[in-house]
Amino acid sequence: MGEKKGFFGRLVEGLSKTRNNIVSGIESIFNGFSSIDDEFYEELEEILIMADIGINTTGSIIEDLKQKVKEAKIKEPQECKELLKESIMDQMKVNEAAYDFENQRSIVLLIGVNGVGKTTSVGKLAGQLKDKGKKVMVAAADTFRAAAIEQLTEWADRAKVEIIAQKEGSDPAAVIYDAVTSAKAKNTDVLICDTAGRLHNKKNLMEELKKIDRVITREYPDAYRETLIVLDGTTGQNALAQAKQFKEIADITGIILTKLDGTAKGGIAIAIQAELGIPVKYIGIGEHIDDLQKFNASDFVNALFN
């Protein structure tokens, strides 16, 4: 429980910019209005949009809130606050099966543009699964950046997990082939793969991901597949746009949202989930290995309104 509390405390701290952005505005609305009318809803809507929750998602939240207010026959804006939290949470439920890959022989691909914290997330995830007693291996298939290979090697050393890497400029699919072969031979539980993220050259990236996919399907068809897109929370709506582009070229099963401690746009966690129908599975709020944690909608919303 200590670790949970610790992370929640850090989450509260990490979301402070977002909270100042959203909650002070929401408070003033709840205190400033004596009745729940159209103007009240309009002001609320504006604040949620400003916090990068996005227009569509905000619309859904407000509609849901109106319904809840009607059903509960609430007249006072202050009483509406818990209902607002519920409406936000309803947009971002992560189901129980979200982490099935942890308990199966699985291959986890991390995709996303460069600079979002992808390699670091591979390292943190590997360390955490290793601590749970899993046999973990990582693959350095972002072969375009020497720095990515070095960085992942450092993480692998730190987490004491095996790494499969080749030199800079190698064929990423060849690295994956080696890793899959090795993972099978060694009865590895989870193989986590770093991939390159050059979205400006979408065609190459598409081909590369397809090739990696073919290798895995051919060499290890019964492995459970998990594809996580890593997005930088500080980029707000831009992160949503990236996710949409990657969704066209990969079968994304979940989202890792990093750098939420550095942004006032934490509302993007809600928007991405609601708009794409893909769950945020992990959030990152710092550099340490345990600063990447499973996403918990009620913790997130409570930390926002704390």
pLDDT tens across 227-256, in order? 999 999 888 889 999 999 899 888 999 999
Phi, psi of 8 (to 5 degrees): -60, -45
What's the rounded Cα separation, in Å, for the pair 126 and 1?
A: 21
Q: Mean per-residue pLDDT for 143-165? A: 94
Q: Mean per-residue pLDDT for 8-33? A: 86
For residue 293, give the nearest of 10, 97, 51, 91 by alpha carbon. Answer: 10
pLDDT tens across 98-128, in order? 899 999 999 999 999 888 999 999 999 999 9
- The residue that leads in pLDDT, 19 or 161, is 161
- The residue that leads in pLDDT, 94 or 80, is 80
Instruction: Check residue 152 and give its pLDDT.
Output: 96
What's the rounded Cα separation, in Å, for the pair 285 and 290?
A: 9
Residue 142 carries which side chain, given as an amino acid letter?
D
Instruction: Check residue 186 and give its pLDDT.
Output: 97
Instruction: Check residue 199 and give its pLDDT.
Output: 65
What's the rounded Cα separation, in Å, for the pair 200 and 53?
A: 26
34, 36, 45, 71, 270 from 39: Cα distances, Å: 11, 8, 10, 20, 24
pLDDT class of 38 with cuts at 50, 70, 90: very high
164-181 b/e (C-beta count within 10 Å ≥ 16 → b): bbbeeebebbebbbbbbe
Strands 136-141 and 106-111: unpaired
pLDDT class of 167 with cuts at 50, 70, 90: very high
Report which secondary-structure segment, H or E, holds 259. none
Q: Mean per-residue pLDDT for 147-174? A: 95
Compute the mean pLDDT over every residue in the chain, rounded to the nearest whole number. Answer: 90
What's the rounded Cα separation, in Å, for the pair 20 and 259?
A: 17
- The residue that leads in pLDDT, 22 or 65, is 65
pLDDT at residue 3 tops 60: no
% of residues, the chain, pLDDT over 90: 56
Q: Mean per-residue pLDDT for 73-100? A: 87
Instruction: Check residue 1 and give its pLDDT.
Output: 42
pLDDT tens across 276-298, in order? 889 999 999 888 888 899 998 88
How far out from the chain centre does Cα 238 lie? 14
Considering only CA atoms, give the Rg of the chain.
21
CB-based contacts of 225, cutoff 8 Å, min separation 6: 101, 106, 107, 109, 216, 251, 253
Q: Mean per-residue pLDDT for 19-32? A: 85
pTM for the model: 0.90
Angle at 272 between CA 233 and CA 298, to 5 degrees: 85
Phi, psi of 58 (to 5 degrees): -60, -45
What's the rounded Cα separation, in Å, for the pair 101 and 107?
A: 8
